Structure 1
């Protein structure tokens, strides 16, 4: 379904943003648009919404299965503003998810369990948001894939991930059950990455509620939404396997010519399977067996 504008989409919120889960996919360029949309449709999202310029094409069969909203994702602040408008328009309790093109959501056992089952279990544990780690993917041969993107030869880092305490800016004390996570390509090439963009944690799955605001560092105004687990035990976490950092580093003239290859001794082929991410400790099954 084609919407005339973001406001036109919001005007239909009472028919779309009800229970969810609704996937909001912000398309920044023409890279892997169709595979991103298909991946999230296959996971079982009740609605998939693509925010993208009119000039970008998608296959005809996908046009019939998604909502398309004219939108320029070139300014990050506009993306956060749009998400906050959608939160405000959604029915309280509606599950929302957001990502960008060339990003793919994985969660424990996603090959056999759909996203409704995932969030149903998470809600039973009295959780209203789920932490995800943005795991950098990259092509190993940049002569064949100069933009850093190749689904067939995708690799990821199998080590080099770490967490640091997240401190309260008012008191300087560590925040309860909140950490800043780092690793992947943006850790190895941090000299080319703005400090505000180096973290790999993102609360990508969450429930809409009144006065909830997504901040420009991917955290929320509600502190409990930013926690990695409840006080009693570990909870489910997810992974967003993303070519976004590799694309940016190869597109940016300041870094492109300094990177001949993303491959290093801790690179490993990506299997496109949740088992690999679980084995590497890049997401957590919690009590979901």
Structure 2
């Protein structure tokens, strides 16, 4: 299932958006494309859409499993525009977006599908879910110069914090909204633009008329940006991502300043939702 452009996909691929949840995977480079797509297929998404240049290779078994859409995802504004166009084309459908070398985890994801989780979340009258982007990195940059290694992946077990999110109109904190920080974006903030230092992303959400994804990974509907409803804690999820480590080690302005990402709070990543819940990096809410 291959489409030359987003226009063609939205014209001929309407069936892929008829039932959710739908995963939109933006492929920026050729790192871990197949593992990213396989991971999200295993999560149980009804459709997985790979938005990628025609020159990038895709495993033969994935050709029939995913919807491949011609797109240059290296331009941030194109990513946001694409998500917003899919929102317009799929009202009422749960959507998810991430990049290659990023892997979604949610509470009990080893034996429950993402659709089951979102069905529960919908029953709690929630239309969006907060996800934390948790930085992964290889422990040996000599063996993995691009900082990507599935077998030797590490993460920070502490060093995460949140600040109140002010409303620009009143300068008072927004209700049930926080800006979250930590990981490599915090430890190497001198190499990260201020506008890119947050680790929160509303990556799971239900499309609605007029809804718009903004360049800071929030939405124009403020209720979508909340971490929970007013009466109790809700589910949250985590996107375990090599994206920041990869960028820091491929950027000439930062690569020579970073001989290793390891520090005293590094721990091997176990590729299991229980570890993320134990570390407080996602919340099961009322779902057991």
TM over 0.5: yes
Matches within 5 A, 1:132-211: 132-211=131-210
- Aligned-residue offset at 1:13: 5.2
Tell me the TM-score normalized by structure 1. Answer: 0.99
Q: Which runs of 5+ in 2 are unaligned?
A: none
1:248 match: 247
- 1:12 Cα deviation after fit: 3.2
Match of 2:216 in 1: 217
The correspondence of residues 1-289 of structure 1 with structure 2, limited to 5 A, is 1-12=1-12, 14-90=14-90, 92-289=91-288
Moved segments of 4+, more than 4 Å: none
Q: Normalising by the residue count of structure 2, what TM-score does the alignment of the two structures yield?
A: 0.99
- Give the Cα–Cα distance (whole angstroms) in 1 for the partners of residues 72 and 112 of structure 2: 33
For the Cα contact (< 8 Å) 1:13–1:89, is it kept in 2? no
Q: Shift in Å at residue 10 of structure 1?
A: 1.1
Superposed CA deviations along residues 147-194 of structure 1, whole A, max 9, x for unmatched, are 000000000000000000000001100000000000001100000000
The CA deviation at 1:18 is 2.0
Partner Cα distance (1:46, 1:129) in 2:
18
TM-aligned CA distance change 1:13 to 1:125, over 3 Å: farther
Counterparts of 1:15 and 1:259 in 2: how far apart (Å)? 46
Q: Secondary structure at the match of 1:214?
A: coil
CA-to-aligned-CA distance 1:216-256 (integer Å, 9 cap, x gap): 00000000000000000000000000000000000110000
Partner Cα distance (2:222, 2:17) in 1: 23
- Contact 1:21–1:96, Cα closer than 8 Å, also in 2: yes
- Supply the distance in 1 between the matched residues of 2:192 and 2:4 (Cα, whole angstroms): 35
DSSP 3-state at the match of 2:267: strand
- Any stretches of 5+ residues in structure 1 without a counterpart? none
Answer with 8-17 or 102-111: which moved more: 8-17
Q: Residue 59 of structure 1: CA displacement?
A: 0.8
Tell me, in whole angstroms, the C-alpha distance in 1 between the residues paired with 2:207 and 2:136. 29
In structure 2, distance between residues paired with 1:47 and 1:211: 23
In the alignment, the residues of structure 2 paired with residue 51 and residue 5 of structure 1 have an alpha-carbon distance, to the nearest angstrom, of 9
Cα distance in structure 1, aligned partners of 2:14 and 2:257: 49
User: Helix, strand or coil: the match of 2:239?
Assistant: strand
For the residues of structure 2 that align with 1:30 and 1:262, how far apart are their CA atoms?
Answer: 22
Equivalent pairs counted in the alignment come to: 288
Cα distance in structure 2, aligned partners of 1:223 and 1:174:
12
Q: 1:3–1:68: 8 Å Cα contact kept in structure 2? A: yes
- Equivalent position SS for 2:120: helix
Partner SS state of residue 2, structure 2: coil
